[in-house]
């Protein structure tokens, strides 16, 4: 009898603990169009218009205004895809840091006399120095290349 009571208690309590729904409401997300800033470069694909790349003159929750020959107003409801232009400095820093660390290790191992093994601290110092220098140089090179990031897709 005692086993049956325990089993029944588990069958009643366990599903309540493992419920998928939470009692708290899901927080509302801010609209992508409210996060944009004026004079930011954007690329817009919309129905009724060709693909446009221009600076953003004005934006609201209902429309965006692009700086073309004449200001172009595009309703938010007709936008299929929205992109913003940033730089590739993060990618450049990552690639430059990895290459710099590799070159630092190579220089540290070649700097010792033949037949000797370089000290681990020596190699580590050169690797860190190469990574920092390569990362900074890579970030500077990456700033020169624009990179489009998709913000919104209908």
| pLDDT tens by residue, 25-37 | 655 555 677 777 7
> Does domain 32-86 bear CATH number 3.40.50.300?
no
| Whether the Cβ atoms of residue 43 and residue 85 lie closer than 8 Å to each other | yes
Sketch the domain layout of the chain as residue ranges: 32-86, 89-145
Q: Evaluate whether 142 touches 86 at the Cβ level (below 8 Å).
A: no
- In this structure, what are the phi and psi dihedrals at residue 141, rounded to the nearest 5 degrees? -65, -40
Place of tokens 């936008």: 79
Rg (CA), the chain: 28
* Greater pLDDT, 15 or 36: 36
Backbone φ and ψ of 31, nearest 5°: -70, 145
Mean pLDDT of the chain: 82
Angstrom CA distances, 25 to 20, 119, 152, stand at 13, 58, 24
């Amino acid at each position: 009898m005692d086993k049956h009571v325990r089993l029944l208690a588990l069958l009643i309590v366990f599903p309540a603990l493992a419920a998928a729904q939470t009692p708290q409401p899901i927080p509302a997300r801010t609209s992508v169009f409210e996060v944009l800033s004026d004079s930011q470069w954007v690329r817009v694909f919309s129905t009724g218009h060709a693909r446009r790349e221009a600076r953003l003159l004005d934006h609201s929750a209902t429309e965006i205004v692009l700086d073309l020959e004449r200001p172009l107003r595009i309703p938010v409801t007709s936008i299929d895809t929205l992109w913003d232009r940033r730089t590739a400095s993060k990618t450049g820093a990552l690639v430059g840091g990895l290459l710099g660390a590799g070159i630092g290790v190579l220089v540290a191992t070649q700097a010792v006399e033949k037949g000797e093994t370089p000290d681990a601290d020596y190699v580590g110092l050169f690797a860190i120095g190469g990574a920092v220098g390569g990362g900074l140089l890579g970030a500077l090179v990456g700033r020169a290349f624009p990179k489009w990031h998709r913000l919104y897709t209908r």
